[in-house]
Amino acid sequence: MLEQLTEEQERLCDEIVQEYIQDLQKPTTPDGVAIKKWLDRVYSFYDKKCPERIEIVGSPYEAIKLASDLTGEKQTSTDHCGIGEGGWVSFYDYFHRIGVLTDAEAADVLTFRDFMRCAWDTILLDECAIVVQRPLALRVDDAGNLHGAKEPCIEWADGRKEYAWHGTWVNERIILDPRSYTKEEYLAITNTEERRALSESGGWLWVRDLLGGEKVSDWTDPSTKLSYELLRLTDGQMLLQKQSPPLKDGSQPTYLERVHEDLKTAQAARKWQALPRLTAAECEKDPTLEYEVEA
């Protein structure tokens, strides 16, 4: 029984992690042999033979459409059996490489690994095996989140493109033309992460100019050092600009959220957000609020 990893085995563990992460972004072309080997195996799990018809398509959307057309039923997702399984596949791959698993014991995992290195996912039907090709491009930020500052984060082989800002799915416009947003459009975005993505993509100074915001109050929490600013827009709307507590990666993004128009101080606005049972006036009268934990 393995009780302690050697230094070399620990090093190999880190190397395999990086290997799988870097593999994600490789736009590999489908390998017919590896694909057929996996399909034969996976259909055998259900006591079936791999159908003669194998279709390789350019995106999950194309796969879903084909599956819907073939079955006459609305398909809503792929099998989620492909590149997304890298976590546990790498785990067993590692134990095979250090000799804990025999070749026979690791055979299926390695067959699957070879498949996911040249394909993305599947929709397996009785009459047709649909295989989704890997994207032509997949872009991430330093933390490994899907991200493209001025370009798609995913470019599928069928021409479809996806956009994300540091892990938040957004539309194309937020990435390619953020400053085309009008003030009304900006304020109409209800999702604060999406709004933050637009703000960071377009720039916070642009946001302040766009909204015509004037700072009326600021406050720094003496215990956490988090900063808050209350802004008044020309139409009377009030926004609270606030700094996030440190995230797991140490970053502290900024958020901008609309608060009650009767609020006068940043400290009271912070309390108003947290306590829906209080009115703006009650929060102004006593703006103190302490959290035991802020994360």
Partner 1 sequence: MKIYARQGDLVIEKLDNVNVGDLRVSKDIVFAGDSSGHRHRITGEIKARRDQLVTTILVEKEAQLVHEKADGHKTVVLKPGTYQVRPLRERGDGQDRAVED
Q: Per rule CB under 8 A, is residue 153 in the interface with partner 1? A: no
Residue 216-245 contact track with partner 1, rule CB under 8 A, x = bound: ---------------------xx-----xx
User: Rounded to whole angstroms, how far apart are CA atoms 124 and 78?
Assistant: 9
User: Rounded to whole angstroms, how far apart are CA atoms 276 and 292?
Assistant: 19
Q: Which is nearer to partner 1, 96 or 166 (CB)?
A: 166
Q: Which is nearer to partner 1, 27 or 144 (CB)?
A: 144
* Interactions with partner 1, residue window 78-97 (CB under 8 A): none
Q: Per rule CB under 8 A, is residue 274 in the interface with partner 1? A: yes
Q: Per rule CB under 8 A, is residue 259 in the interface with partner 1? A: yes
- The nearest distance, CB 234 to partner 1, in angstroms, is 16
3-state secondary structure of 154: strand
Q: Per rule CB under 8 A, is residue 47 in the interface with partner 1? A: no
User: Rounded to whole angstroms, how far apart are CA atoms 122 and 242?
Assistant: 43
User: Rounded to whole angstroms, how far apart are CA atoms 59 and 61?
Assistant: 5
Q: Per rule CB under 8 A, is residue 251 in the interface with partner 1? A: yes
User: Rounded to whole angstroms, how far apart are CA atoms 157 and 133?
Assistant: 7
- The nearest distance, CB 9 to partner 1, in angstroms, is 24
- The nearest distance, CB 289 to partner 1, in angstroms, is 5
* Interactions with partner 1, residue window 161-180 (CB under 8 A): 164, 167-170
Q: Which is nearer to partner 1, 57 or 259 (CB)?
A: 259
Q: Which is nearer to partner 1, 102 or 288 (CB)?
A: 288
- The nearest distance, CB 247 to partner 1, in angstroms, is 6
Torsional sign, CA 98, 100, 102, 107: negative
- The nearest distance, CB 239 to partner 1, in angstroms, is 9
The gap from C-alpha 190 to its chain's centroid, in whole angstroms, comes to 18
CA nearest 201: which of 142, 146, 150? 150
Which residue type sits at 294? E
Q: Per rule CB under 8 A, is residue 281 in the interface with partner 1? A: no
Q: Which is nearer to partner 1, 99 or 276 (CB)?
A: 276
Structure tokens at 35: 């694909």
3-state secondary structure of 257: strand
* Sheet with 137-138, edge to edge strand ranges: 137-138, 154-155, 161-165, 168-170
Q: Angle 204-211/192-202 helices, nearest 10 degrees? A: 110
Q: Per rule CB under 8 A, is residue 6 in the interface with partner 1? A: no
Instruction: Give the interface with partner 1 as residue ranges (CB under 8 A).
Output: 143-146, 164, 167-170, 190-194, 237-238, 244-249, 251, 257-261, 271-276, 286, 288-295
